[in-house]
Structure 1
Amino acid sequence: MTVITESRIAGVVRAAEAVLSHRAGSSVTLADPEDLGGSGRTVVVRARVLANPLSMDRTLVIKALPADEDPRAFHRELASYKYATALPNESRPGPQLIASDPEIRVLVLTDLGHGRSMNSLLSGTDAIEASHAVSAWGQALGRMHAATVGGEFDFRAILRRDAGTADGDILGESAVRAVADASAQLERLGVDLPSDVHDRLAAACLLFPEGDHRAFSPSDVGPENIMLNDAGVQFMDYEWGGFRDATLDIAYALVTCGAQLSTVNSGHRTDLEIAMVDAWRSEVHGIWPALGHNGESSRKILTARLLWTWLSTIWMLPAHDGVASVEVPQVSPAGYTHDWALHTNDPRVVVARWTDLSAAAVRSGDQVVAEFAARVGAALQRSWLT
C-alpha cells in the first residue's frame, strides 16, 4: 500500500494554489487539506478556499499524479474532464474541471461533497434502497451515453491537442492481450475454449475501437467510483476515460456490483441486474432503437460481460506454465497502478462472476456461454478454493 505523506499533500496544495492563482491573475490560498485517498501513488485532496478571486466554491478537490507515472493516464483524464465539463449541466456525469497543469500533472475539480457511496448502498440491508440505487446507476449511465453520442470527434481533438495523439485505450489493449492468451490459459485449467466463445471474445474487443453504440465512458464505472448526492448519481473518476461502445459500461457495472452486495441484497441479484439494465435502456433506446429489442440487448450486453469476466480472471492467472494460483500482480493491468473495480485479489469474487455470467446467459437463452461459464467457474473453484 502506498502511503501519502503530509509533505506530499502540502506540495500538491501549493501546486494547486499556483495553478489557480495563474488562472485568476491574483493570489488564491487554500487551507485545511483533507486526504481523500487515491489509486496507486495518485493524491486526491479536498481543500478549503480562503482567498476567492474567482468566486469559486468554498471547497475544491485536487488530484495529482506522480511525474514518473504513465503520461497517457493524465492526458486521458484531462481530456475527459475537459470534454465532460463542456457538456450541458444536466448531462455532466461528475465533477467539473476548474484548472489544470499538464506539466506538473495537477487537476483542480469542483467538490461533489460527501453524499453516499454506491458501495454502502449495495452492502446495506435495505433491498428497496439497493434497487433504487442500481436503477439510478443504470439511468445515469444511459443519460451520459445519450448526451455524448456523436461527440467522439470533439473528444479526440481535445486529446490530440493536449497529448499529441488520440490513441492509448489501456483497457482495450489489455482486453486484446487477454483474449490472445485465453486458449492457453484455459488449457492449463483443463477447459476447452469453444470457437463460438472465442469469436464472442474477439468481437467484444472490437467494442473499444468500434461498436454500434459509441458514447463517452469514464472507463471505470464500478461502484467504488460512484456517489449519490442531492444532484443524483456522480461518476467520480475519469482516468483512462474515452469513447467506446456503451454496452461495455453497463456490462462493467453488472460485473463489478456483485462483490459489494450484502447477503440480503445477494438474494435479489437477478432483480437488481434487471432493474439496472432496464433503467439504462430506458435512456438509450431512443437513440439506439435496436437496444429496445430484448434479445438484441441481452446478446450485446452478454458479449461485453463475457469479456470483462475473462479479463478480471486473467489478471489473477500466472503468465507462465503451471497450475493457476491466486497470486496477484503488484501493479494492475499494463503496469499502471489504478485500482480498477474490475481488478480483485479475492478468488471468490472471480468465481462468483463466472456463476453470475452463467446465470445471465441462461436467462438470455445462450446455452453456449452458459455452459462455458459454468465450466470455467467450476475449474477455478477446484484450482483456487478446494
Structure 2
Amino acid sequence: MTDVNDTLARAGALIGAELTEGADLGGSRRSLTLRAHRADGSSVIVKAYDPGQPYAASAFVREAAGLSFHSGGPELLGADGDALMTVMADLGDWPSLVDRLLAGDPAAATEGLLAWARAYGEMGRASLGREDELDALREKFAIDGDDDPALWDAPKLARLRGLLDGVGITTSAAFASEVDDLNVLSTIGPRVFSPGDICPDNNLLTGDGFRAIDFEGAGYRSAYLDAAYVTMPFATCWCVFALPAEVVAAVSDEYWTALLGRPARRGESEGVRLAVVHWTLDMLTWLMERAFAGDEPMGRGRAVVSSIRQVLRHRLDTVATMLDGLPAIAAVIEALRERTDGWPRIERYPAYTTDSYKPGT
C-alpha cells in the first residue's frame, strides 16, 4: 500500500515544490492517484504505482512515455522510475463522456461520442509514421518489468481454455489455432498511437475540448483495436450499456474520417470485426469466472451500472454475428450463449432511453 505523505514528499521533490492536501481520486488498485496542492494554491495530479501490483512497471513506462509523446493529454511535469511515479498538470473538474451517456440528454451524449471518436482519430492521424519517437521515449523511461506482450500468448490462451473447460465447454486444437491467429491484429491496419484504455470515463470534456487523461496503456497498435470500441461498445470498460445502431454508425464514421479522411472501407471493417472477436475473448478471461459464480455490478459504488452477466451476454450476442470463417470460435460462442440464455439482457445507455431520444436524430 502506497503511503500518501511519502508520496507527496517524493512528488514534491520531483517537481521542486512542496505538495500538500493529497485527495485520493480513486482509480485502479495498481496505483494511488492524488490531487495535491502547491503553496500558491495551484494543483497537480500525482500517480504512484504500487510495485507489488501486476503490470505496474509497464504502466509507469507507458504513461510517462505516452504523456511525453502526445501533447493533447495532461502535461507531464515529472517522472521517477525508481519510485514508479508521475506528476502531471491538473486539468480541473470537468464531466467525462460517461457522465453524458448516463444522463438524460441524447443530443449531448451523441455530441460527446462524436468528440470522443474525433479526438482519438485525430490522435492516431497525427501519430502515423512516428513510432520510432515513442520507442525512444519508452527507452528513456524503461525499467525492469516493462513489457509488451502479444495479444494472445500461450499462458493467456491456456487460461481461456481452462475457464471454458470449467463451465463444461471443451475446446479443440482448431479453436486454439483460430485464437492464436488473432495475433495478426498486431501487424495489420494503420498503426496508431493510442492511450490504450479509451473508455468513456478516461477523459474530460473541458472548455477547451476533449482531453484524454489515462495513458497507462499508451502505445502503438492497430487502429482496428480502437475502432472496435465503438462497435462493442467500449471493450474493456465498466460503464457498458447498448448504443442505438445509427449512433454506432455515426461514431464509427467520425473515427475513420478523423483518422483517414473517409469512412471505413471493406477491408477496414473486416479488421474491426477481428478486433471485436479479440476483445470479446479477452474479456472472457476477465469476466467469465465471476459471471458464472454469480451476478454483480460491473462497477462497485456506481449508481447506474450494468451487471457483469448483462455485459458478458451482450458481448456474446454482438460477436455471434461476426464469426464467418472462424468455425471453432463460433462453436464456443454458441455454446456459451446456450449456457447463458437465462441471463439478463443489457439495456441502452440512459441517454438513449429518454422520451427526448428519437432514432435518427
One-letter amino acid of the structure 2 residue matched with residue 251 of structure 1: A
Counterpart Cα distance in 1 of 2:331 and 2:244? 21
| Aligned twin of 1:300 | 271
Counterpart Cα distance in 2 of 1:165 and 1:15? 21
* 8 Å contact kept, 1:189–1:379: no
| Aligned twin of 1:148 | 127
Which of 294, 299, 312 in structure 1 is aligned with 2:283? 312
Counterpart Cα distance in 2 of 1:234 and 1:372? 41
SS state at 1:157 partner: helix
Which of 52, 71, 74 in structure 1 is aligned with 2:57? 71
Moved more, 122-131 or 63-72: 63-72
Give the deviation of 1:74 after TM superposition: 1.6
Moved more, 253-262 or 124-133: 253-262
Give the deviation of 1:162 after TM superposition: 2.5
Counterpart Cα distance in 1 of 2:317 and 2:108? 25
| Aligned twin of 2:338 | 379
Which of 21, 32, 36 in structure 1 is aligned with 2:25? 36
Give the deviation of 1:277 after TM superposition: 0.8
| Aligned twin of 2:107 | 128
For normalisation by structure 2, the TM-score amounts to 0.77
- C-alpha offsets along residues 338-370 of structure 1, whole Å, 9 cap, x if unaligned? xxxxxx9722211111123335x39xx889699
One-letter amino acid of the structure 2 residue matched with residue 233 of structure 1: F
Counterpart Cα distance in 2 of 1:298 and 1:194? 28
Counterpart Cα distance in 1 of 2:203 and 2:331? 32
RMSD, aligned α-carbons: 3.6
Give the deviation of 1:280 after TM superposition: 0.4
Moved more, 212-221 or 178-187: 178-187
Q: 1:256 to 1:12 in 2, by over 3 A?
A: farther
* 8 Å contact kept, 1:358–1:373: no
Counterpart Cα distance in 2 of 1:51 and 1:254? 46
* 8 Å contact kept, 2:320–2:334: no
Q: 1:192 to 1:350 in 2, by over 3 A?
A: same
Give the deviation of 1:145 after TM superposition: 0.6
| Aligned twin of 2:215 | 238
Which of 211, 235, 252 in structure 2 is aligned with 1:277? 252
- C-alpha offsets along residues 292-336 of structure 1, whole Å, 9 cap, x if unaligned? 41x2222111110111111111223459xxxx83379xxxxxxxx
* 8 Å contact kept, 1:316–1:327: no
Q: 1:310 to 1:227 in 2, by over 3 A?
A: same
| Aligned twin of 1:325 | 292
Show structure 1 runs of 5+ residues with no match. Answer: 22-27, 53-57, 86-91, 329-343
Give the deviation of 1:385 after TM superposition: 6.8
* 8 Å contact kept, 1:122–1:261: no
Q: 1:277 to 1:76 in 2, by over 3 A?
A: same
One-letter amino acid of the structure 1 residue matched with residue 268 of structure 2: S
Give the aligned length: 331
One-letter amino acid of the structure 2 residue matched with residue 46 of structure 1: R
Counterpart Cα distance in 1 of 2:283 and 2:35? 31
Give the deviation of 1:236 after TM superposition: 1.3
Which of 69, 81, 86 in structure 2 is aligned with 1:83? 69
Counterpart Cα distance in 2 of 1:111 and 1:272? 32
* 8 Å contact kept, 2:24–2:35: yes
SS state at 1:234 partner: strand
Structure that is richer in helix per residue: 1
Counterpart Cα distance in 1 of 2:89 and 2:22? 15
* 8 Å contact kept, 1:354–1:376: no
For normalisation by structure 1, the TM-score amounts to 0.73
Counterpart Cα distance in 1 of 2:28 and 2:343? 27
Counterpart Cα distance in 1 of 2:172 and 2:258? 35
Counterpart Cα distance in 1 of 2:101 and 2:332? 25
Counterpart Cα distance in 2 of 1:9 and 1:167? 25
Give the deviation of 1:30 after TM superposition: 2.7
* 8 Å contact kept, 1:169–1:240: no
Give the deviation of 1:29 after TM superposition: 2.6
* 8 Å contact kept, 1:221–1:253: no
Identity of aligned residues (%): 23
SS state at 2:78 partner: strand
- C-alpha offsets along residues 265-314 of structure 1, whole Å, 9 cap, x if unaligned? x4x5212221221110111224xx7x741x22221111101111111112
SS state at 2:46 partner: strand
Counterpart Cα distance in 1 of 2:255 and 2:175? 26
Counterpart Cα distance in 2 of 1:366 and 1:276? 27
SS state at 1:315 partner: helix
Which of 340, 347, 371 in structure 1 is aligned with 2:309? 347
In the alignment, structure 1 residue 95 sits paired with structure 2 residue 95: no
